[in-house]
């Protein structure tokens, strides 16, 4: 029996009457251990399942798709009348406003433009009278040239007849002179008589030359009259063109004068008149905004301006939380939307201020956001309402933020951007 049990076991049985050894345990120990285990599990769940979204603030305003077109005064003057009201629908080419830039002069007892217009009207009347007189004189002059042509033709015919008679006379005197010439050799004809016959022959020859010269003069006059009649339409046309040019110059001067006196502002496209900022009778400066045209039935979108810190982390589909100035978020809540377009280049602060009137201080990128809803409650969105937004950029789990510095490939790791798959 001695070898069947260990000595330690036999000693323990012999000392059982002394009782068991028990270690004291606190009553809160179990509870604290359970709490610690639960906290550890909760922390692990938070690290794994918890997500953190980095956001970037942006500012901008609501704009209808297609933008709001601002109409400015093309020149300084006085607003005479308006043909459009706030919210009115207008069509392309419709006259919206009339601006007068008429200048008054005490010396002229009226407007300078009116005096210029009166002088131009007088010049136009004189030129029109000259054109009418030209038409009448052209017909009379053509008739005179035709009469001169007929007279020249008559002179030519008469000269031809006279030339024929004088040639006959000259032929007779030559024949008579040749017949009496033998009598001179026989001393039957004195020298005085011979001189008489020669004088008659020479005179007949001279008359023939005079008739020929008269015929040549008549032919030259006929040619000149015909040439003048043929050239008359060209001369008349030149004078008519000169008068037409002067009338065109007067028309241009009149148009410029009327353009300076009364300027019509037309609608460059179909739209709805909004932000009407004028009163009939007020003075306007060149470039001063008068009203804006919003597209018809165009949905609203937010035009945001984003700094370079966030422009590289956003893409179409990035969610945006927006707060409209006209609808306090404490009462109406935060409105949601998604990015639909991102500009490829930045605008300077001066360009942003000139474009939107917003207090820009640094260059920014233009980002368009489509709201999930086109109304807040029962009220629709209004153009050019100021918007404060939060762009929801990079989205990661909590443990990824903790271990990101330890990852060797963290520079090339894909970022989970809100609304965009990694």
Residue showing tokens 């009116």 = 114
Residue 8 lies in a domain: no
Alpha-carbon distance of 293 to 384, in angstroms, equals 12
**CATH classification of the domain holding 311:** 2.40.30.170
Residue 99 lies in a domain: no
Helix 191-261 × helix 112-185 angle, to 10°? 170
- Chain centroid to CA 66: 16
Judgement on whether residues 283 and 304 belong to the same structural domain of the protein: no
pLDDT band of residue 355 (cuts 50, 70, 90) is confident
**CATH classification of the domain holding 135:** 1.10.287.620
Out of 56-70, 127-141, 185-199, 286-300, which region has the weakest mean confidence (pLDDT)? 185-199
Judgement on whether residues 337 and 387 belong to the same structural domain of the protein: yes
Strands (E), 247-385: 262-266, 271-274, 283-284, 289-294, 300-306, 319-324, 335-347, 364-371, 375-376, 379-380
pLDDT tops 90 at residue 287: no
pLDDT in tens, 78-115: 888 888 888 888 999 898 888 877 655 555 555 555 66
Judgement on whether residues 205 and 227 belong to the same structural domain of the protein: yes
Judgement on whether residues 123 and 255 belong to the same structural domain of the protein: yes
Alpha-carbon distance of 264 to 182, in angstroms, equals 107
Enclosing domain of residue 390: 49-66+298-422
pLDDT tops 70 at residue 419: no
Query: Mean of the per-residue pLDDT values for the chain?
Result: 78
Judgement on whether residues 324 and 413 belong to the same structural domain of the protein: yes
Judgement on whether residues 214 and 302 belong to the same structural domain of the protein: no
pLDDT band of residue 173 (cuts 50, 70, 90) is confident
Q: What is residue 413's predicted lDDT score, i.e. its pLDDT?
A: 44
Residue 25 lies in a domain: no
Residue 3 lies in a domain: no
SS (H, E, C) 259-299: HHHEEEEECCCCEEEECCCCCCCCEECCCCEEEEEECCCCC
In the chain, the number of structural domains is 3
Q: What is residue 194's predicted lDDT score, i.e. its pLDDT?
A: 62
Q: What is residue 329's predicted lDDT score, i.e. its pLDDT?
A: 87
Beta bridge pairs of residue 370: 338
pLDDT tops 80 at residue 38: yes
pLDDT band of residue 420 (cuts 50, 70, 90) is very low
Beta bridge pairs of residue 387: 60, 324
User: What 3-state class would DSSP assign to 85?
Assistant: coil
Residue showing tokens 């965009």 = 420
More confident call, 174 vs 354: 354
More confident call, 159 vs 367: 367
Element (H, E) at 307: none
Judgement on whether residues 243 and 119 belong to the same structural domain of the protein: yes
pLDDT band of residue 1 (cuts 50, 70, 90) is very low
Q: What is residue 108's predicted lDDT score, i.e. its pLDDT?
A: 53
Residue showing tokens 């026989």 = 186
Judgement on whether residues 256 and 115 belong to the same structural domain of the protein: yes
Judgement on whether residues 292 and 302 belong to the same structural domain of the protein: no
pTM for this entry: 0.53
């Amino acid at each position: 029996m001695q070898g069947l049990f260990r000595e330690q076991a036999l000693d323990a049985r012999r000392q059982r009457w002394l009782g068991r050894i028990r270690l004291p345990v606190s009553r809160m120990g179990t509870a604290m251990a359970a709490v610690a285990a639960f906290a550890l599990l909760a922390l692990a769940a938070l690290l794994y399942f918890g997500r953190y979204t980095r956001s970037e603030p942006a500012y901008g305003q609501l704009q209808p798709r297609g933008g709001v077109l601002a109409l400015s005064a093309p020149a300084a003057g006085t607003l005479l009348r308006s043909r459009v009201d706030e919210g009115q629908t207008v069509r392309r080419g419709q006259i919206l406003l009339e601006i007068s830039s008429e200048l008054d002069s005490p010396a002229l007892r009226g407007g300078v433009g009116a005096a210029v217009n009166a002088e131009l009207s007088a010049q136009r009347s004189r030129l029109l009278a000259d054109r009418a007189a030209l038409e009448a004189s052209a017909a009379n002059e053509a008739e005179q040239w035709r009469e001169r042509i007929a007279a020249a033709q008559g002179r030519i015919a008469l000269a031809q007849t006279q030339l024929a008679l004088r040639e006959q006379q000259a032929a007779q005197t030559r024949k008579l002179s040749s017949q009496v010439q033998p009598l001179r050799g026989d001393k039957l004809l004195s020298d005085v008589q011979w001189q008489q016959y020669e004088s008659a022959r020479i005179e007949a020859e001279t008359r023939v030359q005079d008739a020929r010269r008269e015929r040549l003069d008549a032919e030259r006059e006929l040619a000149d009259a015909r040439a003048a009649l043929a050239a008359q339409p060209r001369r008349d046309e030149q004078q008519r063109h000169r008068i037409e040019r002067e009338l065109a110059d007067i028309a241009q001067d009149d148009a410029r004068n009327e353009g300076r006196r009364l300027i019509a502002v037309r609608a460059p496209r179909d739209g709805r008149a909004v932000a009407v900022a004028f009163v009939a009778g007020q003075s306007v400066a060149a470039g001063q905004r008068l009203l804006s045209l919003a597209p018809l039935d165009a949905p609203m979108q937010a035009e945001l301006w984003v700094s370079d810190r966030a422009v590289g982390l956003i893409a179409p589909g990035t969610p945006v939380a927006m707060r409209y100035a006209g609808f306090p978020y404490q009462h109406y809540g935060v409105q949601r939307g998604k990015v639909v377009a991102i500009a490829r280049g930045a605008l300077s602060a001066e360009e942003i201020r000139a474009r939107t009137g917003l207090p820009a201080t640094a260059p920014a990128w233009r980002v368009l956001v489509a709201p999930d809803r086109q109304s807040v409650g029962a009220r629709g969105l209004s153009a050019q309402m100021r918007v404060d937004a939060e762009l929801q950029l990079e989205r990661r789990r909590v443990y990824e933020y903790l271990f990101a510095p330890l990852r060797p490939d963290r520079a090339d790791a894909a970022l989970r951007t809100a609304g965009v798959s990694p």
